[in-house]
């Protein structure tokens, strides 16, 4: 895991992952596209080939109301505007024409489309008027400033674009950049009803513009995102069969993707039918991966000599490991991830060190167990009163004073075993090397407390193989230290065989463990993550924070409470604390020194177990 302090602090901003997730949910709802991805870039972007749209960083560093409404207007413009009403066919036809001023021509069209689509959204959704008013006010001020600067510097094409933006909203600005002829042509945008109409108006203006200006734009105020040559070709698609066999032309991004997804589903069904008939267990092309159906790439045999529970574990080592494809079920960031699940190779030589630590921790474990059992006993003995049946209470005045008396009580039945399950993910990245010994001690404490309470738990080391990772394949490893199925088996030697490796893909690991915990029937589910910094893996540095926050949100929705312990050798900084709040909300605690790892682990366990006892 990359240390949080590894950056030179030229720009130490972090992404507001929670906000981005909310905006993405809104974008998907507006576009009626559950597969739509939302990112943040310099300018608004539409990237149909990636099923993605991007809002602009233009709104950062403003007052909260402006930031909120600015981002919302971006989302509405992209998902309710461009996604539904921007013609790919007209855009590709427009882009195919040559011009000596290609940048100015392109940006004029996109400026016109922003105006047309904004007005369309305002009419369809009157509740958006205030956010678009604010948007246009802020952008008008920006273009006014840019207009003056560009004229002063002699960037006439850029100044024309600024003047064009202002002309559609505040009237023609001072100066002769947009002369009468161009202004009259440009205001024809008020009547434009489509991308094709806007393109015709821009092309009608270009003859005079090319005569007036010799050089193209310097700055980029508008961009589409995907270059026209990468875009899907609009094509004829047969709709519902009618007597005349009417064909539906696919023009907008929405129409193209709806047709594409229908075809993909059809191809997937055909592939599945073929596999069922042939009896193949490999993953279908374009299909969903099912458990046990992953493609086998490599096989390895473990040779652990550690202490193991016979049931199942020996079989794990004998049968080897299968490398599975993550696919889309783990999220867009992990489509090229492959992963292996295997037992950690326990070193029996670590037994003396483990027992020595266990001896030191025994008083803490015993004190916590005593406190919990006392609370459990109190709860078991507490009477439930005012019942319709059960034992007759000694206080019978209610029979005479109440219309519907409830004079019975019942003692709670002993709860026995706590109805809870725990998962623990341990960061196995290279930066953990100087914290391994203290981490092992904290994990051993976690293991011993839950083992003595007979609470099912799973401890897993996770990491990514940075040396093997490339654009097409990112191998990840999950090494089981203790599995749910192991019960109260002692895996101290496995814990003390922990080692540091390379990178860490936190969001992927959380989703993997979430999948395992969702199969459990316990009422209370807790997932602890021990890490020493932010996520760091191949092509994951920029999106790791957002993806991890999204994974935590998904886990919480699934009824799994995610808790994070930041392992550090010094006190946490405000910047680090803010980073972990972004990913884990208020469920992140910090250990400011090596000695505090075990103490904070004990505190986390105490808090969660008290919650379990209290709620029953």
Q: Which residues pair with 340 in a beta bridge?
A: 323, 477
344-361 per-position pLDDT tens digit: 999 999 999 999 999 999
Could you tell me which residues come within 8 angstroms of residue 414 by beta carbon, excluding any fewer than 6 positions away?
Answer: 380
On whether the CB atoms of residues 189 and 116 are closer than 8 A, the answer is yes
Residue 452 token pair: 């003595």
On whether the CB atoms of residues 314 and 308 are closer than 8 A, the answer is yes
* Other beta carbons less than 10 A from residue 361's beta carbon: 18
The C-alpha atoms of residue 18 and residue 94 are separated, in whole angstroms, by: 38
Q: Which residues pair with 38 in a beta bridge?
A: 53
Residue 247 pLDDT greater than 70, yes or no: no
* Other beta carbons less than 10 A from residue 283's beta carbon: 18
Q: Which of the 8 DSSP states describes residue 128?
A: G
The C-alpha atoms of residue 128 and residue 143 are separated, in whole angstroms, by: 22
- Return the pLDDT at 315: 45
Question: What are the C-alpha distances in Å from 448 to residues 260, 312, 363, 451, 489?
Answer: 53, 21, 12, 5, 10
Residue 393 pLDDT greater than 90, yes or no: no
Residue 382 pLDDT greater than 70, yes or no: no
The predicted model gives 408-424 an average pLDDT of 76
- Return the pLDDT at 232: 59
The predicted model gives 37-63 an average pLDDT of 89
Band the pLDDT of 318: cuts 50, 70, 90: very low
Compute φ and ψ for 52, nearest 5 degrees: -135, 150
Residue 412 pLDDT greater than 80, yes or no: no
Could you tell me which residues come within 8 angstroms of residue 382 by beta carbon, excluding any fewer than 6 positions away?
Answer: 412
- For the four alpha carbons of 254, 260, 263 and 269, in that order, the dihedral sign comes to negative
Residue 6 region, left (φ>0) first, then alpha (ψ -120 to 50), else beta?
alpha
- Return the pLDDT at 262: 55
How far out from the chain centre does Cα 102 lie? 37
How far out from the chain centre does Cα 360 lie? 40
Task: Scan for tokens 């266990």, then name that residue.
Answer: 358
Q: Is the pLDDT higher at 355 or at 298? A: 355
Q: What whole-number percentage of the chain has pLDDT above 70?
A: 79
Listed by start position, the domains of the chain span 6-212, 348-378+417-615, 383-411
The C-alpha atoms of residue 111 and residue 125 are separated, in whole angstroms, by: 21
The predicted model gives 400-419 an average pLDDT of 70
- Return the pLDDT at 238: 44
Of 31, 590, 529, residue with least CA distance to 257: 31
Q: Is the pLDDT higher at 213 or at 386? A: 213
**348-378+417-615 homologous superfamily:** von Willebrand factor, type A domain (3.40.50.410)
On whether the CB atoms of residues 460 and 423 are closer than 8 A, the answer is yes
Burial tier of 285 (Cβ tally within 10 Å: 0-12, 13-18, 19+) = exposed
Burial tier of 362 (Cβ tally within 10 Å: 0-12, 13-18, 19+) = exposed
Q: Mean pLDDT in the chain?
A: 82
471-501 per-position pLDDT tens digit: 889 999 999 999 999 999 999 999 999 999 9
Residue 441 pLDDT greater than 60, yes or no: yes
Of 38, 66, 220, 39, residue with least CA distance to 132: 66
The C-alpha atoms of residue 250 and residue 248 are separated, in whole angstroms, by: 6
The C-alpha atoms of residue 26 and residue 405 are separated, in whole angstroms, by: 52
Task: Scan for tokens 């193949």, then name that residue.
Answer: 280
The C-alpha atoms of residue 158 and residue 155 are separated, in whole angstroms, by: 5
Task: Scan for tokens 């047709």, then name that residue.
Answer: 259
226-243 per-position pLDDT tens digit: 776 666 565 544 444 444
- Return the pLDDT at 7: 36
- Return the pLDDT at 319: 39
Band the pLDDT of 297: cuts 50, 70, 90: very low
Query: Which ranges of 35-128 would DSSP assign to H, the alpha helix?
Result: 64-75, 83-85, 88-96, 102-124
- Return the pLDDT at 261: 53
The C-alpha atoms of residue 446 and residue 606 are separated, in whole angstroms, by: 10
- Return the pLDDT at 346: 93
The C-alpha atoms of residue 440 and residue 47 are separated, in whole angstroms, by: 46
Of 291, 324, 337, 294, residue with least CA distance to 535: 337
Q: Is the pLDDT higher at 32 or at 191? A: 191
Band the pLDDT of 570: cuts 50, 70, 90: confident
């Amino acid at each position: 895991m990359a240390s949080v302090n590894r950056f030179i602090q030229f720009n130490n901003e972090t992404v507001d992952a929670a906000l981005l997730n909310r905006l993405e949910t809104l974008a998907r709802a507006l576009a009626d596209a559950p597969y739509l991805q939302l990112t943040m870039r310099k300018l608004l972007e539409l990237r149909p080939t990636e099923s993605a749209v991007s809002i602009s960083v233009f709104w950062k560093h403003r007052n909260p109301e402006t930031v909120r409404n600015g981002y919302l207007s971006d989302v509405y413009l992209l998902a309710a505007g461009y996604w539904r009403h921007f013609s790919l066919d007209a855009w590709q036809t427009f882009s195919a024409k040559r011009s000596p001023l290609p940048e100015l021509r392109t940006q004029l069209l996109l400026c016109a489309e922003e105006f047309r689509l904004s007005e369309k959204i305002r009419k369809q959704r009157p509740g958006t008027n205030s956010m678009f008013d604010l948007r246009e006010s802020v952008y008008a001020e920006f273009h006014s400033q840019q207009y003056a600067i560009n004229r002063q510097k002699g960037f006439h094409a850029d100044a024309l674009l600024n003047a064009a933006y202002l002309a559609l909203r505040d009237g023609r600005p001072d100066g002769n950049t947009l002369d009468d002829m161009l202004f009259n042509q440009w205001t024809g945008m008020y009547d434009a009803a489509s991308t094709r109409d806007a393109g015709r108006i821009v092309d009608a203006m270009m003859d005079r513009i090319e005569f007036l200006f010799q050089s193209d734009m310097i700055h980029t105020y508008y961009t589409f995102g995907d270059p026209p040559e990468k875009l899907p070709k609009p094509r004829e698609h047969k709709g519902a069969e009618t007597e005349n066999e009417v064909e539906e032309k696919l023009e907008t991004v929405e129409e193209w993707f709806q047709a594409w997804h229908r075809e993909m589903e059809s191809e997937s069904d055909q592939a599945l039918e073929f596999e069922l008939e042939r009896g193949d267990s490999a993953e279908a092309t374009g299909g969903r991966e099912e458990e046990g159906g992953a493609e086998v790439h490599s096989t390895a045999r473990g040779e652990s000599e550690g202490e193991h529970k016979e049931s199942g574990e020996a079989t794990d080592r004998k049968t080897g490991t299968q490398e599975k494809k993550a696919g889309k079920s783990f999220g867009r960031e992990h489509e090229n991830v492959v992963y292996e699940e295997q037992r950690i190779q326990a070193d029996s030589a670590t037994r003396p060190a483990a027992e020595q630590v266990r001896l030191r921790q025994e008083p803490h474990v015993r004190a916590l167990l005593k406190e919990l059992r006392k609370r459990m006993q109190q709860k078991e003995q507490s009477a439930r009163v005012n019942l319709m049946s059960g034992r007759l209470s000694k206080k019978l005045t209610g029979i005479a004073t109440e219309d519907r008396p409830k004079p019975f009580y019942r003692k709670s039945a002993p709860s026995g075993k706590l109805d809870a399950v725990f998962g623990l993910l341990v960061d196995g990245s290279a930066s953990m090397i100087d914290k391994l010994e203290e981490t092992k001690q904290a994990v051993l404490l976690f293991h011993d407390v839950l083992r003595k309470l007979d609470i099912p738990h799973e401890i897993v080391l996770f990491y990514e193989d940075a040396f093997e990772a490339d654009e097409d394949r990112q191998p990840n490893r999950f090494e089981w230290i203790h599995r749910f199925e192991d019960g109260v088996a002692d895996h101290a030697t496995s814990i003390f065989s922990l080692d540091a490796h390379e990178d860490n893909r936190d969001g992927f690991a959380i989703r993997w463990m979430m999948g395992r915990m969702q199969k459990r029937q316990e009422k209370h589910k807790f997932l602890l993550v021990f890490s020493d910094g932010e996520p760091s893996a191949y092509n994951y540095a920029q999106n790791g924070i957002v993806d991890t926050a999204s994974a935590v949100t998904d886990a919480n929705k699934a009824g799994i409470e995610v808790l994070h312990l930041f392992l550090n050798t010094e006190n946490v900084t405000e910047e680090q604390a803010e980073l972990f709040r972004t990913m884990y909300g208020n469920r992140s605690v910090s250990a400011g020194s090596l000695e505090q790892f075990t103490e904070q682990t004990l505190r986390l366990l105490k808090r969660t177990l008290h919650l379990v006892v209290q709620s029953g």
